[in-house]
Structure 1
């Protein structure tokens, strides 16, 4: 029987605040000496996992361009201004550093963007204000709590908090699943939005299946909002073995 691919899913926040998200986390300046030391501490912890592949939240279609930047990083220990990735990104700060230290010749972008319905919350505010108000209150409270934690803890401590399964289950229930009821019985705006969110995660998982070979040790670095779905998919798939990131944090 072939050895299963071991998948360590590390949920993270976006160091450069890139993209649109339900909650904007104030990561602060990740380039300060203090934060750089904290990031190096995290990188050292995951060297112990000894991944032979590192997969990241970047467009699969930009794999060639991303790895050209990674190659330059390996030579210069820095990333020049470009249209693909910001130098403050967790991909550069964690994935590139870890891959370089392990002498990997490439990283593996897995992401496939989807079009989320942009007016779902405008619809909710107008047509189901009680649901909208409760959702916004939850999101604001959640954001305040997360930002307060980040401002008073190290990168390592924040990642440990983000990768707590109980945290991701609450987030998935109270934000993602709660919004599913928007437009129920009529437009099903919430269902359509959540379908696209699940579709994106299924694309990510398909790409993970594509790069994984028996016996691989893959570190998958992704936004923590994806963890609930991706964790379930990895655990449910008979050819993968889920590795708990908390064993290394």
Structure 2
């Protein structure tokens, strides 16, 4: 399933996705099965480009519609295209897939990626009735799927029911004999991430977000707060259970939308999901997680 050299963009070296699976970056599992006996899932972690305000730390994001950002997003598509995924999956509710693809069809019909338009369906968790074309779903996933000639994308998100109560809210926890780790405050993280996005290109920003150290730190902070029931957003075992439940459902839908053994998917997803999804896919005999770092390092 190597990319066709005649279809690889001028100036870019050929990328063999199977070779990435055989020789993965740090933290990623080696493939134990031949390519035609597994389903590869490239997990492309990204920030939310339309700033939906769903995360604990929400950095200010450069406007994806600005001309320089559009050029950089085109370069990102150049990097991703040689992976030749058979399916592009997006972080949108699976039961809204028809509406997602209605929107995708309008872009395939010639609507520009850089137009100031508002589109549906909504991003889960947002109060607003619709989401802007600034979303990574449009700017990354639609752009790549369109280049590859795909007639649709696949929506694979699913939110479990939100618990009505959290017993850990009122539980007194004696921390006098424990020394909890010190994590940066959300405001500090926002400032740092904003600075990163301001001085990096889109490719550089995603390279940073998919680096093993960054993936590990992000997950450890969230897991530690949930385990200790720290008084922070997401800081409860109940919330941590919700988070894992949601990612398990994503893994299920990734398996569901794959055509079968030998298929390759690329999932455009918030970078905070990557580490837990990698673990869940590694434990699945049918699915094999693949890092996007080798193509993000192409210059």
TM-score, structure 1 normalization: 0.87
**Residue 62 of structure 2, aligned match among 14, 22, 28:** 28
Which residue is equivalent to 2:104? 70
- Structure 1 gaps of 5+ residues are none
Distance 1:164 1:71 in 2: 33
Which residue is equivalent to 1:151? 198
Distance 1:136 1:229 in 2: 20
Which residue is equivalent to 2:135? 89
Which residue is equivalent to 1:210? 256
**Residue 219 of structure 1, aligned match among 256, 266, 269:** 266
Which residue is equivalent to 1:236? 283
Q: Partner of 2:37: helix, strand, or coil?
A: coil
In 2 relative to 1, CA 140–194 (structure 1 residues): closer, same or farther, beyond 3 Å? Answer: same
Q: Shift in Å at residue 119 of structure 1?
A: 8.6
**Residue 15 of structure 1, aligned match among 28, 49, 56:** 49
Q: Partner of 2:132: helix, strand, or coil?
A: coil
Contact 1:135 1:175 (C-alpha < 8 Å) held by counterparts: no
- Structure 2 gaps of 5+ residues are 1-33, 122-130
Distance 1:176 1:116 in 2: 18
Q: Shift in Å at residue 19 of structure 1?
A: 4.5
Q: Partner of 1:248: helix, strand, or coil?
A: helix
Contact 2:99 2:120 (C-alpha < 8 Å) held by counterparts: no
Distance 1:135 1:25 in 2: 21
Q: Shift in Å at residue 170 of structure 1?
A: 1.0
Q: Shift in Å at residue 242 of structure 1?
A: 2.3
Q: Larger RCO: Structure 1 or Structure 2 (Cα < 8 Å, ≥ 6 residues apart)?
A: 1
Q: Partner of 2:213: helix, strand, or coil?
A: helix
Moved more, 109-118 or 89-98: 109-118
Q: Shift in Å at residue 147 of structure 1?
A: 1.6
Which residue is equivalent to 2:229? 182
Distance 2:107 2:146 in 1: 8
Which residue is equivalent to 1:59? 93
Moved more, 162-171 or 49-58: 162-171
Which residue is equivalent to 1:171? 218
Q: Shift in Å at residue 117 of structure 1?
A: 6.1
Q: Partner of 2:119: helix, strand, or coil?
A: coil
Distance 2:256 2:194 in 1: 36
Q: Partner of 1:180: helix, strand, or coil?
A: helix
Q: Shift in Å at residue 182 of structure 1?
A: 1.4
1:69-148 counterparts in 2 under 5 A? 69-78=103-112, 80-84=117-121, 85-114=131-160, 123=169, 137-148=184-195
Distance 1:229 1:149 in 2: 23
Distance 2:207 2:133 in 1: 23
TM-score, structure 2 normalization: 0.73
Q: Shift in Å at residue 152 of structure 1?
A: 0.9
Q: Report how many aligned residue pairs link the two structures.
A: 242
1:194-209 counterparts in 2 under 5 A? 194-209=240-255
**Residue 76 of structure 2, aligned match among 35, 42, 48:** 42
Q: Shift in Å at residue 172 of structure 1?
A: 1.1
Q: Deviations over 1:184-206 (max 9, x none)?
A: 9xxxx711110001100011011
In 2 relative to 1, CA 128–151 (structure 1 residues): closer, same or farther, beyond 3 Å? Answer: farther
Distance 2:230 2:139 in 1: 41
Q: Shift in Å at residue 143 of structure 1?
A: 2.4
Which residue is equivalent to 2:17? none
Over the residues paired in the alignment, what is the CA RMSD in angstroms?
Answer: 2.8
